[in-house]
Chain A
Amino acid sequence: MTQKISKQEHAKMKNPIIQFFKFIYLSLKIMRIVAGGHGGTRP
């Protein structure tokens, strides 16, 4: 069954204050994943 986005979640997604902190959090998290290095997979 399809999950729905509730009105409360919609409000959070649009709230600029919550989203500002989320922006900082996501930027750091994405930076950690992307700049976290890469390498080979073969022994």
Chain B
Amino acid sequence: MSKIVILGAGIAGHTAASHLRRKLSKKHEVLVVSPNRNYQWVPSNIWVGIGRMKSEDVFFPLEPLYKRKGIGYKQAKVVSFHPEGDATEPKPFVKVEYLYGEMLGMQEKVTYDFLINATGPKLAFELTEGLNPGTNKAYSVCTYDHATHASAALHELINKIKSTQKKAKILIGTGHAKATCQGAAFEYILNVEKELVKFKVRDKVEITWISNENELGDFGMDGMLLSYQNQVMKSSEMVEMVFADRGIKWILGAGIQKVEDGKVSYENLEGEHLTEEFDFAMLIPAFSGHGFKAFDKANEDITAKLFKGFMIVDADYSPKPYEEWSVQDWPETYQNPSYNNIFAPGIAFAPPHSISKPRKSKNGTEIFPAPPRTGMPSGITAKLVADNIIDTINGAKTLHHKGSMGNMGAACIASAGYGLSKGSGISITTFPIVPDYNKYPETHGRELKKTFGDIGLAGHWLKLSLHYAFIYKAKMKPFWWLIPE
């Protein structure tokens, strides 16, 4: 009998738990430890952020589902990792602290045979002075709560414009010099623009995209060459075309350093210190690790064996210049090299380096996007980790399931406006996610047949279909496993 503990119940953690429970017999224990009570389908938060979906449409409670399916669940946060046990507990364990119910505030040692760290990122708002969702007229759509507040503020502004006929400024993009998740901000800006048109106030609002990207359409993936209709286009050209069509201005290479009431201060790649004013902003924060600590059997600090901000896995972390980066640097099994029963799929693993070319301002400030790791790779990597654990339990000596982001495709169905007949979406696929410049030297590291873009109403229908399909899958309804990650 084996006990598998999964930390986190986001896309990666929940995917791993679901597959483990389905494929392992009941004599094996699957236990999820998560500080969150609900599973949320994060990609739909942008629709909550414009008021077209309620927060209840994008989440459901985990405990009843886990109870029905035979998955253990503790609403608790991890305090520390003890992969060798300690003086009193011979088995490896994580120390957790309960966040709800009768056990609130109590700590417990949760032992395991296998540990999946799927704790995702910490939303590090504190890394940008004054950036705190709901203050200084700046909002976030990173969680359904944040998105609900963003929607209320956006509609308050729309009502104000309608009643006063005064002009307003909206600023959307990244709130830190090394933030990632440009895709979510990109979707949000297009949805906000569409809502302003719907409420007939578009002509009163100046909308500006602000981002740490060097070029539009970088998305933290070094941009891409893609097929669009009958031509080959750079993602920068495609995004520029869309922004020009919607009358959206843009500021690039901007590392926001401070947010005050209706004003951001930023440094650009030229080393200039500039400001931009706004009446409503949605700024994606930096992501960071959770600052976990790890200890060995003798209670000595071994954090460096497990963490490098995020969790250390089978990547090549040796420092080298951009020109020497290779697709082979990226992990394949997400296994910690020091403890082979610990894995970190999804966003919890430490990337070997960024995907976009690192850039510094003339003052030496690093301004470039961190690598994105969205829902699709999170689900795929979680499933392969679950499959490897199952194989190991069944006696396999090596890990057969591999999934490098350098040999994995991804689809980004970016909503560009909500509405069954008037909606729009930008469908982009890329293969591989991390460009392989040796394999595809002529096409910016990507296979053109599998890297394409399309704009239109079908994109909205696709995004909406995915919303329902993935919530169905997450609820583990009949034949859920037939839906790919």
Q: Which residues of chain A have a CB within 8 Å of any CB of chain B?
A: 2-5, 12-16, 18-20, 22-23, 26-27, 29-31, 33-36, 38-42
CA distance A41 to B485 in the complex (A): 20
Is the pair B436, A2 in contact by a Cβ cutoff of 8 Å? no
Is the pair B431, A40 in contact by a Cβ cutoff of 8 Å? no
Give which listed residue, A2, A5, A30, contacts B411 with CB less than 8 A: A30
B112 CB to closest chain A CB (Å) equals 26
B179 CB to closest chain A CB (Å) equals 26
A34 — which chain B residues lie within 8 A by C-beta? 376, 409-411, 429, 484-485
Is the pair B330, A41 in contact by a Cβ cutoff of 8 Å? yes
Contacts A/B (CB < 8 Å), 27 sampled: A2-B241, A2-B244, A3-B233, A3-B237, A3-B241, A4-B244, A4-B245, A23-B461, A23-B462, A26-B427, A26-B458, A26-B459, A27-B465, A30-B429, A34-B410, A34-B411, A34-B484, A35-B484, A38-B384, A38-B407, A38-B408, A38-B409, A40-B402, A40-B407, A41-B330, A41-B332, A41-B406
A39 — which chain B residues lie within 8 A by C-beta? 402-404, 407
Work out how many contacts link A and B, with CB atoms closer than 8 A.
97
Instruction: Answer yes or no: B455 CB below 8 A from chain A CBs.
Output: yes
* A34-B484, A40-B402 as given contacts; A16 in contact with B407, CB under 8 Å: no
Q: From B231, which residue of chain A is reached at the shortest CB distance?
A: A3
Is the pair B327, A41 in contact by a Cβ cutoff of 8 Å? yes
Instruction: Answer yes or no: B380 CB below 8 A from chain A CBs.
Output: yes
* A30-B411, A30-B462 as given contacts; A41 in contact with B404, CB under 8 Å: yes
Give which listed residue, B403, B454, B462, contacts A38 with CB less than 8 A: B403
A40 — which chain B residues lie within 8 A by C-beta? 332, 402-404, 407
Is the pair A13, B431 in contact by a Cβ cutoff of 8 Å? no
Instruction: Answer yes or no: B113 CB below 8 A from chain A CBs.
Output: no
B237 CB to closest chain A CB (Å) equals 6
A12 — which chain B residues lie within 8 A by C-beta? 456
B413 — which chain A residues lie within 8 A by C-beta? 30
A20 — which chain B residues lie within 8 A by C-beta? 458
Extra contacts besides A2-B241, A39-B404 (20): CB < 8 Å: A4-B244, A4-B245, A5-B245, A13-B424, A13-B456, A14-B456, A15-B457, A19-B456, A19-B461, A20-B458, A27-B465, A29-B429, A30-B462, A38-B407, A39-B403, A40-B332, A40-B402, A40-B403, A40-B404, A41-B404
Is the pair B404, A22 in contact by a Cβ cutoff of 8 Å? no
B485 — which chain A residues lie within 8 A by C-beta? 34
* A22-B456, A30-B429 as given contacts; A36 in contact with B328, CB under 8 Å: no
A32 CB to closest chain B CB (Å) equals 8
CA distance A29 to B458 in the complex (A): 13
Interface residues in B411-449 (C-beta closer than 8 Å to A) = 411, 413, 421-422, 424, 427, 429, 431, 436
Is the pair B450, A26 in contact by a Cβ cutoff of 8 Å? no
B237 — which chain A residues lie within 8 A by C-beta? 2-3
Give which listed residue, A2, A3, A16, A27, contacts B462 with CB less than 8 A: A27
Is the pair A13, B455 in contact by a Cβ cutoff of 8 Å? yes
CA distance A36 to B484 in the complex (A): 10
Give which listed residue, B384, B429, B459, contacts A33 with CB less than 8 A: B429
Q: From A42, which residue of chain B is reached at the shortest CB distance?
A: B328
Is the pair B457, A41 in contact by a Cβ cutoff of 8 Å? no
Is the pair B380, A38 in contact by a Cβ cutoff of 8 Å? yes
B411 — which chain A residues lie within 8 A by C-beta? 30, 33-34
B424 — which chain A residues lie within 8 A by C-beta? 13-14
Contact flags B386-417 to A (C-beta < 8 A → 1, else 0): 00000000000000001110111111010000
CA distance A27 to B241 in the complex (A): 24
Instruction: Answer yes or no: B240 CB below 8 A from chain A CBs.
Output: yes
CA distance A34 to B412 in the complex (A): 11
Is the pair A22, B454 in contact by a Cβ cutoff of 8 Å? yes
Of A4, A34, A35, A38, the most chain B CB neighbours within 10 A belong to A38
B63 CB to closest chain A CB (Å) equals 31
CA distance A31 to B429 in the complex (A): 10
Q: From B403, which residue of chain A is reached at the shortest CB distance?
A: A38
CA distance A21 to B233 in the complex (A): 23
B483 CB to closest chain A CB (Å) equals 10
B411 CB to closest chain A CB (Å) equals 5
Is the pair B461, A33 in contact by a Cβ cutoff of 8 Å? no
CA distance A21 to B465 in the complex (A): 15
Q: From B237, which residue of chain A is reached at the shortest CB distance?
A: A3
* A14-B457, A30-B429 as given contacts; A41 in contact with B407, CB under 8 Å: yes
CA distance A27 to B190 in the complex (A): 22
